[in-house]
Amino acid sequence: MASVQLSTTVRNAQAGVIETAIGTAPKVNFLDGSLPADCAAADPANVLCTVDCPSQWLESPVAGAVTITGSWVGIGLGSGYIRHFRLMNNGNTVCHMQGLVSQDWESATAYALTQQVNNGGNVYVCTTGGTSDSGGGPTGTGTGIVDNDVVWDYVGPVGMVLENTHIASDQGVNITQFTLTVGNA
């Protein structure tokens, strides 16, 4: 299989049509549980929060990447750890993009069962809660990755990073940063 590389011009063009294709003021559903097989799969019933995006929700592309405009704001509908997101149309009926959600791994930090972290571009789910080591964090793509007294399983590549993935009912959720990179350099 041959590999292709795209110019920055082509990558910017691809990134630039995302907002047009999805439409104005989309919704982002944050969910617990496993990531659906693809965007065509039914939206799981475990939505912890729905965030309303502004009408113009992406900046102009730079180097094949787009970032959000303003803040994306929502209120917690349930309690738990966010594990994935689904970017929906304005009517919240069609999924156009989905991915894993995690927070940055931190040393000497307490982690709970099903909490997800990212380290080195990978997302890991906590299978045994405890306190992380003082340095390093989980690595690799296996299961049973020991990090002091926390045990992690590899889940997949980083999608969206939040400061805190724990959501409580009626909690305000404010997404201030998300970058989507298209293609390759």
pLDDT digits (tens, 9 = 90+) for 114-153: 999 999 999 999 999 999 999 899 999 999 999 999 999 9
Amino acid at 6: L
Average pLDDT over residues 167-179: 88
Cα 45 to Cα 12: distance, rounded to the nearest angstrom:
35
Name the token pair of 51: 């965030």
**Residue 1 above 60 pLDDT?**
no
pLDDT band at 184 (very low <50, low <70, confident <90, very high): low
This prediction has a pTM of: 0.90
The identity of residue 71, as a single letter, is S
More confident residue, 183 or 35: 35
Residue 17 has pLDDT above 70, yes or no: yes
Cα(165)–Cα(144) distance, integer angstroms:
22
Residue 178 is predicted with a pLDDT of 87
For the chain, percent of residues with pLDDT exceeding 70 = 98
Q: Which residue has the tokens 């793509």?
A: 141
Q: Is the pLDDT of residue 57 over 60?
A: yes
**Which of 82, 89, 83 lies closest to 57, judged by CA?**
89
